[in-house]
Structure 1
Amino acid sequence: MKHLKNTKILILPFAILLFLSFSTAHKFYVSVTNIEYSEDDKAFQITSRIFIDDLDKLLSERYGIQAKLATPNESNLADGYIEKYFRSKFVVTLDGKPVKYTFLGKRYDTDVAICYLEIPNVNLTEVKTMSIQNEVLTDLFEEQKNVVHIKWNGKKKSFVLIKENNKGMLNL
């Protein structure tokens, strides 16, 4: 009986280790961007939610800055580099023409950075098509998925964009 108890004591740590090796949480890479047309403002208002640690890693690897996002020691350069990155990886076209947007800033919510963008002066009745190209973080994480939700005139459309398929288009 004592031999059986000793065997259990030896096997138990190995069983726990084996179980944990198959059940560890795998980090997922996703951003969620909401684009909504405001009739009152005649503008597309855009919010993009990105995990802070992923954005911090991107700024370090791509631009060589230690942004220290969401900390008291956050770099004064962070917003400028985030805007620069968005301009290179997030493109909106209306009727086949790229449009300029304004980077309004960001705020933090728990472990997510929420970036605010706006495309002002849009007369929706004159726009026939909209295309979104979202390559945010796909250059850093192969598994990155960028979910895009668009709302206009009571209609909704959603896309899941990945590195190999980074553009969604819709008729307005």
Structure 2
Amino acid sequence: MKIQKILLLFLAIPLLSFVTVHKFYVSVTNIEHSKADKALQITTRIFIDDFQKLLEERYDLKEELTTEKATEEVEKMMKKYLTKKLKIWVNGELKTFHFIGKKYEDDVAVCYLEITGVESVTSLEVENAILYEIEEDQQNLVHVKINNQRKSLLLVKENDKGLLNF
């Protein structure tokens, strides 16, 4: 029995050497309406290494994202990029979000955004083109919670915009 296990191990090792590790290219954006605050509260999660690469290429970022050096400069770059790549229409009207801040969780940058002055939501349209310029296989998930209803969108480069009705 022991010899069979050892033989199986020796047979499995060459087979496993042909398996390549595939990296997932995904960002996750959560949007929730707060009736009390009359606001859409938004969190966007982006892998740090991908965000780092993009900010280096686009804005010549010199600092590593996980350090707390040049925090204002890094947040300014993040805000500038997200403003160009993430667009949200509430009830047919394009809204501007405020960049509240960011934090790092393991290998993810979490950016906090908010759209104020939102009394109610009947429709929400999201265009999310985050990281498409550095990765063709990038997918952007958008999870929305409005009036205790949860809906989601999966956006890709060829189809980076979606409409949800509530």
Give the TM-score band, short-chain normalised.
Answer: 0.7 to 0.9
Q: How many residues align?
A: 158
By how many angstroms is 1:95 displaced? 2.6
- Aligned residue identity for 1:154: N
Please state whether the residue corresponding to 1:136 is helix, strand or coil. Answer: coil
TM-score (norm 1): 0.84
The CA RMSD measured in Å over matched residues stands at 2.0
Q: 1:77 to 1:17 in 2, by over 3 A?
A: farther
Q: Which amino acid letter does the alignment assign opposite residue 164 of structure 2? A: L
Q: Aligned residue for 2:157?
A: 163
Q: How far 1:72 sits from its partner (Å)?
A: 4.8
For structure 2, the residue ranges without an aligned partner over 5 or more in a row are 1-9
What's the counterpart of residue 3 of structure 2?
none
Instruction: Supply the distance in 2 between the matched residues of 1:102 and 1:63 (Cα, whole angstroms).
Output: 20
Pick from 130, 143, 152 the counterpart of residue 146 of structure 2.
152
Is the 1:42–1:123 Cα contact (8 Å) retained in structure 2? yes
Q: Identify which of 126, 142, 145 aligns with 2:136.
A: 142
Identity over aligned pairs, percent? 47
Q: Larger C-alpha radius of gyration, 1 or 2?
A: 1
In 1, Cα distance between the equivalents of 2:93 and 2:84? 16
Structural mapping, 1:78-93, within 5 Å: 78-93=74-89
Structure 1 gaps, min length 5: 1-11
After the TM superposition, list the runs of 4 or more consecutive aligned residues in structure 1 that deviate by more than 4 angstroms: 15-18, 72-76
1:112 equivalent in structure 2: 108
8 Å CA contact retained: 1:91, 1:98? yes
Give the equivalent residue in structure 1 for 2:126: 132
